[in-house]
């Protein structure tokens, strides 16, 4: 599992979802699989079921759209088989890309009417913003369970402290 998948899983788990990662599906009969779902998040109270695909690739937006549509389409045939329990309609999220395309933004970010596209920096910034509001001394995020979220929590808190003390001597590492 890569950093982005781990961060996504930690974030959803921290918010009350049960998560599974890297779920292979569709055995080919010769040792392989048709595909793999990066993160599945299920909230037991709301029965919200989310399939999240993550990528830090450098492909063109046209290639990204093609790859993500194929991933979600292939996986959709296995949702019921892999997760045979009561759930809402599947929400599909693609977390990819580092900047918005310069031309035809709306078209490039459209991976289908049933898929939400979130840029990697937007996802990470959203998590950091929410975690930064939690005081690590009163609302600590458990470091054994959520090491990435804990690191972001400390990083944002200490960054704020450093910014407040700009004129004071800051230790260089």
pLDDT tens digit sequence for 19-46: 999 999 998 889 889 999 999 999 999 9
| Residue 102 within a domain | yes
Total domains in the fold of the chain: 1
Q: Spell out the residues 6+ positions from residue 11 whose beta carbon is closer than 8 angstroms to its own.
A: 127, 149
Q: What is the pLDDT confidence band of residue 108, given thresholds at 50, 70 and 90?
A: low
| Residue 74 within a domain | yes
| Residue 145 within a domain | no
Phi, psi of 9 (to 5 degrees): -60, -45
| Residue 105 within a domain | yes
| Residue 81 within a domain | yes
Q: What is the pLDDT confidence band of residue 163, given thresholds at 50, 70 and 90?
A: confident
- CATH code where residue 74 lies: 3.40.1350.10
| Residue 70 within a domain | yes
| Residue 164 within a domain | no
CA distance 118 to 37: 17
| Residue 93 within a domain | yes
Supply the range of the domain harboring residue 86. Answer: 3-120
Q: What is the pLDDT of residue 113?
A: 81
Q: What is the pLDDT of residue 103?
A: 59
């Amino acid at each position: 599992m890569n950093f982005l998948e781990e961060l996504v899983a930690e974030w959803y788990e921290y918010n009350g979802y049960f998560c599974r990662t890297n779920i292979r599906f569709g055995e080919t009969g010769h040792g392989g699989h048709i595909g793999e779902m990066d993160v599945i998040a299920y909230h037991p109270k709301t029965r919200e079921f989310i399939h999240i695909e993550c990528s830090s690739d450098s492909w063109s937006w046209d290639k990204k759209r093609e790859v993500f549509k194929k991933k979600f389409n292939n996986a959709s045939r296995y949702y019921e088989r892999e997760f045979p329990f009561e759930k809402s309609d599947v929400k599909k999220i693609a977390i990819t890309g580092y900047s918005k395309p310069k031309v035809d933004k709306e078209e490039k970010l459209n991976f289908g009417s049933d898929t939400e596209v979130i840029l990697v920096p937007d996802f990470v910034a959203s998590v950091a913003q929410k975690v930064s509001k939690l005081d690590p001394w009163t609302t600590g995020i458990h470091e054994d369970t959520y090491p990435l979220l804990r690191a972001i929590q400390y990083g944002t808190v200490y960054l704020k402290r450093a910014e407040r003390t700009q004129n004071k001597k800051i230790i260089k590492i």
